[in-house]
Structure 1
Amino acid sequence: MKNIFFFFFLTVVFNIGYGQINFSQPDYIKTVILKPVVTNSYAPIIKLGEKIQLSFDDLNADEHTYSYKIEHCDVDWSISNLSDSEFINGYAEDRIRDYENSFNTLQPYTNYTVSIPNENTELKISGNYIISVLNENEQVVFKRSFVVYEPKVTVGVAIYRSRDISNINSKQSVEFTINNSSFRINNPNQEIHTVILQNSNWQTAISGLKPQFFRGTQMLYKYNKETSFFAGNEFLFFDSKSIRNSTLNIAKVELGKELYDTYLYTNEERIDNPYTRHPDVNGNFVIRNLTSENHNTDADYSWVHFSLSCLEDLTGKDIYVSGNYNNWQLNELNKLKYNTSTGLYECSILLKQGFYNYQYVTKNNKGEISNYDIDGSFHETENDYTVLVYYKGFGDRYTQVIGVGFGNSEKINN
């Protein structure tokens, strides 16, 4: 390779769960959505100056007074030392004024919405951010995280099959290149930090990689094993846009004491089945209601009943219904429990009407998450990958996000 120099270094790779952004929320707060104001965009990642919108439902339906608070964070999601005026024009904390009660629903709720930036709050710099929702007593009700970037470098991302023979049929590897032709970086090994996400899920993020090669103004990350993810399987799905009727993947719908019960067909483990391609939205969800155009307030809630038939030995592991519907969190609300009378793993989750992707994952007592114990892992699986590039120069007081790259395994390289 002409003009390519190999750089020797000690590589430390982290595959961590970013516990700092494993935020809990009370039972009466549902359907928290934080995403860009762009059609078909789900990941809470925006370019500086673009809008991101937070919406959520309060099942108390009492038109409670809520406010939001914006905090700037370092690369590890700890709160940075910047004052509010250093990263915001206007106010870092303000009231949420846009709210509306549900209409003609069995489950009453109040829907709240706020967009950033707005007339009172404008972000000045890039970086990791946390938005907190506070009640009238200034107590934090829940939090969400998002990323703001400035395109100071370009990031090229390519997806390959693993070159490790033992995982060639089950893993996908991410290779990427950072081009900093218009942005000076003096010490890449100290100043650059990268994070790789599969399907925008921070629970399985890979972090801490250093560039392997330099070619002119390019930094090349040609790892294989260190940037490999189990590809998993295509997400399962259901569509409850018609609250009273069974549709594809919904076995039956019954009116319970207060709300509808939506029973999904029992899912079977797919680990020993051949790979089957079907379109999905990679774990995301869309709120929608067949009978109304105002989905925020006219979509109802129902108890969605999941059931899984699984004969795998999962000793020491718990099973969860995973997806972006609850920010990929794994907790008691979406943990399946074994029912000895039916021989199935079962779970019931209160969800708003819409189209949902989900998958069954396991977590062992070490906190390790597996998306392949039940449904298997196939290199053909279509996944989205995101590479975030962070920069903190010598003497800088905060970490910038200077570039984002996107890749998809639909056109995987061999």
Structure 2
Amino acid sequence: MMDKNIFNLLLLVLLPLISASQVAEEVVPPDFIKTITFKSNTTQGQLPILKLGESLLLEFDALTGNEEDFYYVIEHFNFDWTPSNLVKSEYLKGLDNQRILTYDNSFNTYQIYSHYNLSIPNAQTRALLKSGNYMISIYDDYDELMFSRKFMIYEDLANVGVKVKRSRDVKAIAEKQSVDLVITTNGMNLNNPLETIKALIIQNNNLNTAISNLKPQYTLGNELIYRYDTESAFWGGNEYIFFENKDIRAANIGVQFIDLQELYHNYLYTNISRKNRPYTYNPDINGNFLVTVVDRDNPDIEADYAMIHFSLQHNELIDQDVHVYGNFNAFAIEPLTKMKYNPESNRYEAVIELKQGFYNYKFVAVDKKTGELDEGAISGNFWETENNYKVLVYYKDLGSRYDRLIGFGEATSLDISN
């Protein structure tokens, strides 16, 4: 039998190794924290991809009305979201674990809330020094983790050419889109690029469905070529449905009627399954949202919250749950988004509290046993769908202690070709 002291010593040695290999996941916020948004110089979406040296702005609302204190912590990660070997002073100039100092209380709204702003760099956190993957975590006054969000910082060292093609898989040619890449290194000397270069392809700012760890198939001079048949293919999906309630007191785009109770209730038009219907082009913002309000100067604190009533005309799915899906909660599948089946009306129904604005959403099915997401089960998958693709290129040189993010490219499927 192992001596207790030896066992404890082994535990102390192994625990850091076990924790270091854990893959970081975003933490979903509690119900009283809403409307988490990122803004930067180059992106206004909910997935910030910054050039090294650019500033980042994180905003969110706390609906308690107590002017609570929140603190932020920033961590650096490898390509696969395991913690990097860098110590904090190597990737962060200044301090983190600081209180968020800038906030304002809502004005003239039924829902009382405080709107928080965190800008980086700031007086405490003066710079982020390395490229790569980052996670920002927000804690309350009791050191409890409220939520976390991923973001990326890249160095402009490689050109990333992105083209969207129809799938080369004949079985899925009507439902999938394939992404081809050409990475030009601009004279940067890359050691053994077939092993040290990795690419990540993100569809519509959704990290949950991203294709990772793609390696170049071959090199041509200073170009790395990716032309996979199936490995870089995404389901095409369908255009997002949308609604707008910037005038909370009147029916608007997608809103059938309203009701005032403790808050305004907005009842959306009932949707139907689009899986077996012809594809129709309908411009969207690829699942994102934008806070907006009429007759107000500052949407951050003057936009109100409303109870949004979603409904889907659909027969009950026995083995799957139905969820409302969009970037209003970073495409998370959680109890908040789960719809309940109403046998009397043969509808799935859900009520979600959202800030006034313009929202994209769709309905997805989730397997009750495996948790596998089927984005096209209700909306369908079409090769014609307009999707946005972002490509991140990582490089880990021989002997390096972290993955550098050396290139960023972007394309849409509007100009998709065979």
Q: Shorter-normalised TM-score: what interval?
A: over 0.9
Equivalent-residue separation in structure 2 for 1:39 and 1:393 (angstroms): 28
Q: Does structure 1 residue 359 correspond to structure 2 residue 391?
A: no
Q: Corresponding residue for 2:290?
A: 286
Q: Corresponding residue for 2:301?
A: 297
Kept in 1, the 8 Å contact 2:167–2:173? The answer is yes
Q: Which moved more, 1:358-367 or 1:246-255?
A: 358-367
Decide which of 183, 201, 206 is 1:201's aligned counterpart: 206
Equivalent-residue separation in structure 2 for 1:217 and 1:127 (angstroms): 23
Q: Does structure 1 residue 107 correspond to structure 2 residue 94?
A: no
Equivalent-residue separation in structure 2 for 1:139 and 1:182 (angstroms): 47
Equivalent-residue separation in structure 1 for 2:385 and 2:339 (angstroms): 25
Decide which of 223, 233, 236 is 2:238's aligned counterpart: 233
Q: Does structure 1 residue 124 correspond to structure 2 residue 132?
A: no
Q: Corresponding residue for 1:402?
A: 406
Deviation at 1:248, TM superposition (A): 1.7
**CA RMSD across the alignment:** 1.5
Q: Does structure 1 residue 25 correspond to structure 2 residue 36?
A: no
Equivalent-residue separation in structure 1 for 2:224 and 2:387 (angstroms): 24
Equivalent-residue separation in structure 2 for 1:39 and 1:407 (angstroms): 14
Give 1:163-202 correspondences, 5 Å limit: 163-202=168-207
For the residue of structure 2 that corresponds to 1:273, the secondary structure is coil
Give 1:6-405 correspondences, 5 Å limit: 20-38=24-42, 40-121=44-125, 122-256=127-261, 258-311=262-315, 314-364=317-367, 365-405=369-409
For the residue of structure 2 that corresponds to 1:374, the secondary structure is helix
Q: Which amino acid aligns with 1:228?
A: A
Q: Which amino acid aligns with 1:288?
A: T
Deviations, residues 29-70 of structure 1 (Å, cap 9, x unaligned): 111112324575443111111112110001111111112111
Kept in 2, the 8 Å contact 1:177–1:219? The answer is yes
Equivalent-residue separation in structure 1 for 2:360 and 2:45 (angstroms): 15
Kept in 1, the 8 Å contact 2:38–2:57? The answer is yes
For the residue of structure 2 that corresponds to 1:71, the secondary structure is strand
Deviations, residues 224-261 of structure 1 (Å, cap 9, x unaligned): 211111111100000010111111210111012x1111
Q: Which moved more, 1:160-169 or 1:108-117?
A: 160-169
Equivalent-residue separation in structure 2 for 1:386 and 1:370 (angstroms): 22
Q: Which amino acid aligns with 1:160?
A: K
For the residue of structure 1 that corresponds to 2:214, the secondary structure is coil
Structure ranking higher in helix proportion = 2
Unaligned runs of 5+ in 2: 1-21
Deviations, residues 324-383 of structure 1 (Å, cap 9, x unaligned): 100110111001111112110111101000000011112223232222111111111100
Equivalent-residue separation in structure 2 for 1:19 and 1:289 (angstroms): 39
Equivalent-residue separation in structure 1 for 2:98 and 2:320 (angstroms): 43
Kept in 2, the 8 Å contact 1:301–1:353? The answer is yes
Kept in 1, the 8 Å contact 2:390–2:410? The answer is yes
Q: Which amino acid aligns with 1:338?
A: Y
Q: Which amino acid aligns with 2:29?
A: Q
Kept in 2, the 8 Å contact 1:36–1:42? The answer is no
For the residue of structure 2 that corresponds to 1:373, the secondary structure is helix
Unaligned runs of 5+ in 1: 1-17
Q: Which amino acid aligns with 1:151?
A: D
Deviation at 1:137, TM superposition (A): 2.7
Deviation at 1:207, TM superposition (A): 1.2
Q: Corresponding residue for 2:5?
A: none
Equivalent-residue separation in structure 2 for 1:19 and 1:83 (angstroms): 18
Equivalences, count = 395
CA 1:407 to 1:374, structure 2 compared with 1: closer, same or farther past 3 Å?
same
Equivalent-residue separation in structure 2 for 1:329 and 1:398 (angstroms): 28
Taking every aligned residue pair, what percent have the same amino acid on both sides?
A: 44
TM-score, normalisation: structure 1: 0.92
CA 1:38 to 1:242, structure 2 compared with 1: closer, same or farther past 3 Å?
farther
Equivalent-residue separation in structure 2 for 1:148 and 1:235 (angstroms): 28
Equivalent-residue separation in structure 2 for 1:19 and 1:57 (angstroms): 28
Deviation at 1:19, TM superposition (A): 7.3
Equivalent-residue separation in structure 2 for 1:38 and 1:403 (angstroms): 14
Q: Which amino acid aligns with 1:67?
A: Y
Q: Which amino acid aligns with 1:383?
A: N
Equivalent-residue separation in structure 2 for 1:151 and 1:100 (angstroms): 36
CA 1:225 to 1:188, structure 2 compared with 1: closer, same or farther past 3 Å?
same
Kept in 1, the 8 Å contact 2:61–2:114? The answer is yes
Q: Which moved more, 1:200-209 or 1:214-223?
A: 200-209
